[in-house]
Amino acid sequence: MGELWRNSAVELAAMIRGREVSSREVIQAHLDRVEAVNPYLNAIVRLLPDQALAAADVADRAVADGAGLGPLHGVPVTVKVGIDLAGTPTTQGVPALAEAVAPVDAPQVERLRAAGAIPIGKTNMPDFGLRVHTDSALHGLTRNPWNPQRTAGGSSGGEAAALATGMSPLGLGNDLGGSLRNPAHCCGVASIKPSTGAVPTATVIPPEDWNISFQLMSVEGVLARLIADVRAGFTAIAGQHPRDPLSVPAVFTGLAPGERPAVAVLPEPPGGSTHPGVGAAVRRAADALADDGFAVTEAVPPDYEQAIDLWSTILVADLRIMKPVLDQLMGPGGRQFLDYAVEYLPASDLAGWAMAHTARHGLARRWSLWYQQYQVLLCPVWSQPAFPLDFDIASLDSAIATFELIRPVLPANLLGTPAAVVPAGMADGLPVGVQVMGGKYTELRCLAVAEAIEQRLGPLTPINPVAG
């Protein structure tokens, strides 16, 4: 039977369906793995052993009875603490919400359960998800399993660290400024940031309604070790839901058998420096695609740096409005990063904010047309490997450097377009992820291209965490 925690979600579902192993055995194997490695990482901050094992017994009875089984039947999953999981607090990483118990599941959790998945725990995030480094005022620091002195990324850092070390095969997170993709890069796993509206989102923990920047640019998604699991998770949770008025019944574009779309490659994105090892990883992924028959060309999307500036202008307007309340609820690290953000990122009056939205529409149109020439864009996730702990708040200069290194993730948030992440190698002893981006609702195409890279270069995880 081997070490079940090493298997993928899709593999585990097939094994349970085929009666090679029981769901209880699978859940117990992951609970044992959490016990063995989570003390080194602090990735899972709330474990649900009794509920998970009880659900596994129900799942095993369904198999024995010959009942209809969902695609993730009996498979363990983890859920970020900023997402409602019935009977557990949606803490957002802050002490003020430590007892904010959600009575119902968020739509994406509801749908994973409907697919047969079993939540086994909740994973760490920074205060309100407003850092790209996972250190919570309530739950503490999550360490990178490759190097405990480097960030696990954020804001879904707990999820990525748990996945990378085999504590879970599939997890839920969200993404306003790379929060599904940043930790995937830092920890060496895969993810998908969907198009805006592709996956529903809702909460019963106040505030239930979000500022305009969050409505436009924040999305829900999944992380896993393998692209096949990312695809399985994404297809399980996507689609319109009555609790989310912005969700849509999208039809997602994929690849026909043998289809090889044109790929634009951007190893060193404009707007700042790029670590040589990161650029090399992007070129390695591009070479893998070229070897597989894809047409690969180095090219830059239109007005790339404007996309970064507009993301900042639109988000910081809301952050300035929210800051007095956030300052009362966030810990010192979160407040410091927020202070640096509003000091550095551009301020605008009402006219400037309105013009930014007009400019966003024009930029989205130009990128949409550009994606007719190049169906996908291959580029870094971050322009640097995972940074040292608390680098983002060490000084204003380091905060500015942090905004510079995350710049490749921002256009997809601004434009509401999908971006898949797949590992493509190492730099300075740390994993490097690459993004496969595309036009709206081309999630399945992005995942197919990412999977082609994965099949050539191979996964990096699961691993045992480096202690120290």
With a cut of 50, list the residues of the chain below it in pLDDT: none
Helical axes 443-457 vs 227-237, angle rounded to 10°: 160
Tokens 């999307």 -> residue: 301
* SS3 assignment, position 61: helix
Give per-residue pLDDT as tens, 402-450: 999 999 999 999 999 999 999 999 999 999 999 999 999 999 999 999 9
Going by C-alpha positions, the residue among 239, 242, 211, 236 that lies closest to residue 224 is 236
Q: How many percent of the chain have pLDDT more than 70? A: 100
Type of residue found at 200 = P
Termini Cα distance of the chain: 31
The set of catalytic residues is: 80, 155, 179
The candidate with the shortest Cα–Cα distance to 209, out of 318, 295, 304, 100, is 318
Task: For 400-432, give the secondary structure using H, E and C.
Answer: HHHHHHCHHHHHHHHHCCCEEEEEEEEECCEEE
Question: How many angstroms separate the CA atoms of 6 and 18, rounded?
Answer: 18
Check the CA dihedral 92-93-95-100 and report its sign.
positive
- Half-sphere exposure (Cβ direction) of 215: Cα atoms closer than 13 Å: 9
pLDDT at 346: 81
What pLDDT, on a 0 to 100 scale, did the predictor assign at position 436?
98
Q: How far lies 332's CA from each of 99, 329, 338, 348, 369, in Å? A: 21, 10, 10, 26, 44
Report the amino acid identity of residue 211: N
Counting Cα atoms < 13 Å in the Cβ hemisphere of 425 gives 18
Q: What whole-number distance in Å separates Cα of residue 282 and Cα of residue 449?
A: 13
Residues 294-319 have pLDDT tens digits of: 999 999 999 999 999 999 999 999 99
Q: What DSSP element (H or E) covers 10? A: helix 9-17
Q: Which DSSP letter does residue 207 get?
A: P
Q: Which two tokens stand for residue 380?
A: 């870094």
b/e 160-195 (16+ beta carbons within 10 angstroms → b): bbbbbbbbbbbbbbbbbbbbbbbbbbbbbbbbbbbb
Q: What is the pLDDT of residue 1?
A: 57
State which H helix or E strand residue 373 sits in: helix 350-373
